Amino acid sequence: MKDNYRQKKIREEFFDTSNSVLVKAGPGTGKSTTMLSLAKDLNIFDKGIMLAFNNKIVGELKDKLNSFVLTSSVEASTLHTFGLRMVAKKFTFKVDKNKFYILYKDLYNTSDIKLLSRKEENVLKFSLKFLDQFSRIFLTDDFSEIKEASIELGVWEITEDTLLQSYWITFLEIREGFNNRSYKLVDFTDMLYFPVYFDLKCTEGYTHVFADECQDFSVLQHKLFEIICNDDQHVKFIAVGDDRQAINAFAGSSAESFEMFKSYDNVVELPLDISYRCPPIITDELNKIYKGVIPFKSEGGSMSIKTERDLSSIPNKSLILCRNTAPLVSTLFLLAAEGKKCYILGKDTFNSAKKVMREYLYLDIDTALTNSRKELLELSKNLKSETTRIRFFMLKEAIDIVSSLSSNFVFPYGTKLTHYFAKATIFFVASEDSIVLSTIHKSKGLENPNVYLINKRKLMPSKMARNEKSRIQEKNLFFVAVSRSSENFSYLNIKFEQ
């Protein structure tokens, strides 16, 4: 297919000017195709790198790049892999995913933590773990700043107490000591953090840098991107993304990431808004949420409202989305009762529920539900506290999941909660022709001719969305959900048993 007029304008700006290009690319507008087309036509003296978020996307990009007869050298990499390469050129190191626990053990052995109760120590340990992670992602060690940012992300583990703040100061001293040893321990976040922390220089000679999904960069990733672009050989970059599809703030992405690219020198923003995926009836719905999606197709598609009575008529291979996880579990059992094959996308989908229920995991399920409901009642008495509110809604979601497992799995009396979660791993086994159930967050990058969204009015926006940034993220989630459809979209309203 020939370039459309938007792609032609991007191409002209990229090749015929000295400007870098920021592309606002709507759903299904061919952003990857556009970037690959530009990479293909770089000249023999150019050297480029395509930066993507995960190894699966990198693998796909490499396959497509290798299919070209390239006159230039263009490679694909994740930011983490690239950062680790920079570390490897400067230091002797070992990758260790358990680095935090090594640091914590040092803190434990040199402080009075051992005087705390087991429960108090566990709360402290998990709070410090989040502080350690977010301090690097947000490039600040200030407790108050991290705490404020964590609330925006929906993190309840970081408490307000002065004891935690005191231990945090000591932990930072230990971390700095470890980081400045000649033999480095490097965890996943350090792959990005160390090039910034040690002010390393990029000497790879990349003339052109391509950044995909640029709306999801964290503050730390932006700093590493700056390092890459400060290479002496650097000419320009092209960053492609869509601030309307920024939904990963909970994982540390900066809500202002797309706007931050405008602050670089000589940047021109251009639209890529002709959607080859969504028919007019779907783009009409998208334009009610955000303006600026133009359909390439002239007809086709449908919008409808369905209920639980329509579950039996959902076609195989359809995509069912939901804001929350618990309704997906309940819907899976309802579909199974109708004889439908289905599975939940993402083996880590229950991680949040298991984390919030961790002190109940080794109780029998009836006791776990009784005790967690008692905690929920106590939390409900102090919902003015943001941390308590977040914990309350996350615990309620986890209780709904566990209640569904309890009602539908048959185990001997006294079976521990952890065994129910273990059996629930069967939910994540994909099979041919199955209906796919997914949270909206995990559906990013997917498309399907038949998309269903569960209980939009009841669940969106989330009750945890209390500030403007989080409300925008909720609006973005709705935009992402609708834009997964390449043909038919249905609002699926289900009345679940309480």
pLDDT, one tens digit for every residue, the chain (498 residues): 789 999 999 999 999 999 999 999 999 999 999 999 999 999 888 999 999 988 988 998 888 888 876 666 899 999 999 999 999 999 999 999 999 999 999 999 999 999 999 888 988 998 899 899 999 999 999 998 988 877 776 666 666 677 889 999 999 999 999 999 999 999 999 999 999 999 999 999 999 999 999 999 999 999 999 999 999 999 999 999 999 999 988 778 888 999 999 999 999 999 999 999 999 999 999 999 999 999 999 999 999 999 999 999 999 999 999 999 999 999 999 999 999 999 999 999 999 999 999 999 999 999 999 999 999 999 999 888 888 888 899 999 999 999 999 999 999 999 999 999 999 999 999 988 999 999 999 999 899 999 999 999 999 998 888 788 889 999 999 999 999 999 999 999 999 876
Per the listing, tokens 């679940």 go with 496
Q: How far is it, in rounded angstroms, from Cα 366 to Cα 28? A: 47
Q: How far is it, in rounded angstroms, from Cα 78 to Cα 39? A: 17
* Residue 70, pLDDT score: 63
Q: What is the DSSP letter of 247?
A: -
Which amino acid, residue 462? S
Q: How far is it, in rounded angstroms, from Cα 360 to Cα 235? A: 56
* Residue 69, pLDDT score: 61
Q: Are 183 and 210 in contact (CB under 8 A)?
A: no
Q: Are 76 and 54 in contact (CB under 8 A)?
A: no
The structure tokens listed for 280 are: 């007019």
* Residue 446, pLDDT score: 95
Which amino acid, residue 428? F
Q: How far is it, in rounded angstroms, from Cα 491 to Cα 423? A: 30
**CA distance from start to end of the chain:** 51
Cβ contacts of 384 within 8 Å, gap of 6 or more: none
Name the residue among 428, 46, 12, 366 with its Cα closest to residue 210. 46
Antiparallel, parallel or unpaired: β 208-211 and 236-241 = parallel
Tally Cβ neighbours within 10 Å of residue 327: 24
Helix ranges, 380-467 (H): 386-408, 417-423, 456-459
SS3 assignment, position 92: strand
Q: Are 273 and 24 in contact (CB under 8 A)?
A: yes
Q: How far is it, in rounded angstroms, from Cα 469 to Cα 155? A: 15
Q: How far is it, in rounded angstroms, from Cα 348 to Cα 421? A: 11
* Residue 71, pLDDT score: 60
Cα 141 to Cα 101, 169, 193, distances in angstroms: 19, 9, 13
Residue 313, φ and ψ in degrees, nearest 5: -95, 5
Q: What is the dihedral of CA 14, 239, 223, 156, to 10 degrees?
A: 170
SS3 assignment, position 355: helix
* Residue 118, pLDDT score: 87
Q: How far is it, in rounded angstroms, from Cα 239 to Cα 237? A: 6
Cβ contacts of 367 within 8 Å, gap of 6 or more: 360
Q: What is the dihedral of CA 432, 437, 439, 442, to 10 degrees?
A: 10
Is it true that the peptide bond before 27 is cis, omega within 30 degrees of 0?
no
Which amino acid, residue 141? D
The structure tokens listed for 160 are: 């307000």
Residue 9, φ and ψ in degrees, nearest 5: -65, -40
Which amino acid, residue 377? L
Q: How far is it, in rounded angstroms, from Cα 289 to Cα 303? A: 15
User: CA 489: distance to chain centroid?
Assistant: 23
* Residue 158, pLDDT score: 62
Cβ contacts of 253 within 8 Å, gap of 6 or more: 215, 216, 217, 218, 246
Q: How far is it, in rounded angstroms, from Cα 474 to Cα 466? A: 11
Length of the chain counted residue by residue:
498
Longest dimension (CA), the chain: 72
Q: How far is it, in rounded angstroms, from Cα 433 to Cα 416? A: 33
